[in-house]
Structure 1
Amino acid sequence: MHTAAAVADFHTYPLISALTHLERLPDQLRVQWADGRVSPFHYQWLRDNCPCPQCVYNVTREQVLEIVDVDEDLVALDAHIEQGLLCVRWHGGHTSRFDPGWLRAHAYDDESRAERLAAKPKSQLWDRAFEWPVFDYAALMEDPAALLQWLLALRDSGLTHVRGVPTEPGSLALIAKRISFIRESNFGVLFNVQSKADADSNAYTAFNLPLHSDLPTRELQPGLQFLHCLVNDADGGESIFVDGFAIANALRDEDPEAFRALCEIAVEFRNKDRHSDYRRLAPIIALDALGEVAEIRMANFLRGPFETSVAQMPLLYRAYRRFIAMTRDERFRLVKRLNPGELWCFDNRRTLHARNAFDPASGARHFQGCYIDRDELLSRILVLQR
């Protein structure tokens, strides 16, 4: 069945199973499918999701109906299956028609919800044995299928490597914009990672940088970070990565009390220079609505003094020390020197990155970087998958 005309959406929904039987109850409609599944739908839910042009503006695909304008005790006058569609007639003369593919995709019986949850993309946790996915710059710039594979790998593993990138300054913007617009920060649209005397960040020195996420001082840390190597003739400066999600989950298994402390006790991060002063109070580990690890916020060199209750302070220090110790554990760490014409693209809210110290007297070292929000990655994937 072609669903575009029956669904107020840019996506289409395959017919998994046909509608076979309906049962009207006082507050809901029970739908039976050809494969035997039964899905209850409350009348309020059905009326709220009516896809007709009166309820959804078909140009924007956005809802214009507000459920408060419908009777709270709404009951269906009639419900039947017509040409495969579920048709419901309401008091007042309004009729809703639901495509069975769309209806099955949004059914909220326990079995359907469990099925959708199982089909959701899962983070692929990794350690030092991880063989990070490598992609070719020319293919990503020309082939939408290659671009989609890169973005899926970035979404699921949080760390990717691209080769064959031009080494002219500013080239990074071209590949970043294959995903979306670049997020500007106080460091610029593209920022230059070089050692300089008047550095406003430890990143712009020759020091080693411990494992961290960028801009933990912001309400929303950037989702994606690019680091593009233009020149790398200096001794040292190897890139180091760990999967923050893998470490957080290992901590949850090995020390649940420490894990819970890092999820619940907020820590302040600060970034200050002559012209700006950013501060953010938030836990080091953030969970999503399902209780899964969704974000790591960590940069010891941008951390303010801990502030929590007298009773909790020892626990916070124990948990914090344990987390940092785990980032130093060789079982989690990947180390690689980036060469000119190569770039890293990684999930900044998941993959912690570091750099070994380098000797600026031994040769030039020039990287460029930029940020894109994670929402833009996920949106680009969905559009390419259409």
Structure 2
Amino acid sequence: MNTAAFADFRTYPLISALAGVQDMDDHLLVRWADNRLSPFHHQWLRDNCPCPQCVYSVTREQVLEIVDVPQDLAPDAAHVDAEGCLSVAWQDGHLSRFDPGWLRAHAYDDESRAERQACKPKARLWHSDLQLPVFEYQALMTDNNALLQWLLAVRDIGLTQVRGVPTEPGSLKLIAQRISFIRESNFGVLFNVQSKADADSNAYTAFNLPLHSDLPTRELQPGLQFLHCLVNDAEGGESIFVDGFAIAEALRREDPQAFTSLCEIPVEFRNKDRHSDYRCLAPIIALDASGQVSEIRMANFLRGPFDASVEQMPRLYQAYRRFIAMTREPRFRLMQRLNPGELWCFDNRRTLHARNAFDPASGARHFQGCYVDRDELLSRILVLQR
């Protein structure tokens, strides 16, 4: 069927056919074959016209700006055409045709919006009993379906392990680039996690690192972090993880005032060495537009002195202490030693990670790491799902 074009590279299945349309004062009321009713305002329809005059067919990006259309523009006629599309003839002579699959996918009646909200991916919260998702390097490098399953686990669970990774330095770059380009920082494109005398971060020492997110000192923390084990002969150094979202939701239930304080009172994080000085002031818990936890920002060893009002300061300390204490509770903590040829890939803005102290005199320990932004992960998933 030769249906209308739409301004996207995705396809939209026909969930329900268009059964009829009625012109109202400022909108068209569409009736679907399953008897759902969806109002579409005249301005919304004109704004989303997918014709080549309104959308450049090469980039599928909009050319029309709604301000160039009269605010009171109305249809002369509207009907469901022979190909099942919604056809709208406007008073100024313009013609718009809407694919029924696309139109249903973007309908904004209450039922349709609730349906879309229910279908959105949701974080799967986990505790110490997590069945760790494990993937094989070779499959991820050659099979796009395996790659998609890995990326979905990273998105929804926030912690994965990959095994069978080559142990030559630089091998990490190849698998990270299966997602997208690597985000460079002042630590480099790939950074070496080793104990060294002139360390510019506590990560490059042998003592324990408490649970933290990397680079909370940046306006945008890296989305994904990779840690690839090349050598691990030293005693100690086990990796520890907690689901920061699970802790935040437990805090919301168990101590709502502490949760609100960590959402509302900003904290400054600082990362300074001889050549750079990064600082970011932001709350420890960030919420998205729907009130769901979307980010945890935490690294006690990078935290500046609290700068809050006299009234807020006791409340901030109480909430901060409670959150740190919860990250130490066994119910949340997963601990595992990483072996050569294995790597962690986790959501750095969700999954807090730590490392036990290790003894550098007992053997060599060499990890390599890198970052990829969360946007790149989500984009890659959508492209693989097309």
TM-score (norm 1): 0.99
User: What is the distance in 1 between the residues matched to 2:219 and 2:6?
Assistant: 36
Match of 2:56 in 1: 57
Match of 2:295 in 1: 295
Secondary structure of the residue that 1:225 maps to in structure 2? strand
Secondary structure of the residue that 1:117 maps to in structure 2? helix
| Pair 1:348 & 2:348 matched | yes
Match of 1:107 in 2: 107
User: What is the distance in 1 between the residues matched to 2:44 and 2:136?
Assistant: 47
User: What is the distance in 2 between the residues matched to 1:193 and 1:13?
Assistant: 46
User: What is the distance in 1 between the residues matched to 2:374 and 2:8?
Assistant: 23
Note the alpha carbon deviations across 1:353-373, whole angstroms, 9 max, x for none.
000000000000000000000
Match of 2:362 in 1: 362
Kindly indicate whether the alpha-carbon contact (under 8 Å) linking 1:2 and 1:12 is maintained by their aligned counterparts in 2: no
Matches within 5 A, 1:89-100: 89-100=89-100
Q: Where does structure 1 lack aligned partners over 5 or more consecutive residues?
A: none
User: What is the distance in 2 between the residues matched to 1:379 and 1:8?
Assistant: 17
Percent identical among aligned pairs is: 81
State the Cα RMSD in Å. 0.7
User: What is the distance in 2 between the residues matched to 1:54 and 1:211?
Assistant: 54
Question: Offset of 1:108 from its aligned partner?
Answer: 0.1
Note the alpha carbon deviations across 1:47-97, whole angstroms, 9 max, x for none.
000000000000000000000000011111110110200000111100000
Match of 1:317 in 2: 317
| Pair 1:9 & 2:8 matched | yes
Match of 2:117 in 1: 117
Greater than 4 Å deviation, 4+ residue runs: none
Q: Would you say how many aligned residue pairs link Structure 1 and Structure 2?
A: 385
Q: Where does structure 2 lack aligned partners over 5 or more consecutive residues?
A: none
TM-score (norm 2): 0.99
Match of 2:262 in 1: 262
Secondary structure of the residue that 2:325 maps to in structure 1? helix
User: What is the distance in 1 between the residues matched to 2:8 and 2:271?
Assistant: 43
User: What is the distance in 1 between the residues matched to 2:20 and 2:62?
Assistant: 29
Matches within 5 A, 1:40-189: 40-82=39-81, 83-189=83-189
Match of 1:377 in 2: 377
Secondary structure of the residue that 2:72 maps to in structure 1? coil
Secondary structure of the residue that 1:68 maps to in structure 2? helix
Secondary structure of the residue that 1:11 maps to in structure 2? coil
User: What is the distance in 2 between the residues matched to 1:9 and 1:346?
Assistant: 30
User: What is the distance in 2 between the residues matched to 1:353 and 1:240?
Assistant: 6
Matches within 5 A, 1:203-242: 203-242=203-242
Note the alpha carbon deviations across 1:237-265, whole angstroms, 9 max, x for none.
00000000000000000000000000000
Kindly indicate whether the alpha-carbon contact (under 8 Å) linking 1:136 and 1:164 is maintained by their aligned counterparts in 2: yes
User: What is the distance in 1 between the residues matched to 2:319 and 2:75?
Assistant: 56
User: What is the distance in 2 between the residues matched to 1:6 and 1:307?
Assistant: 54
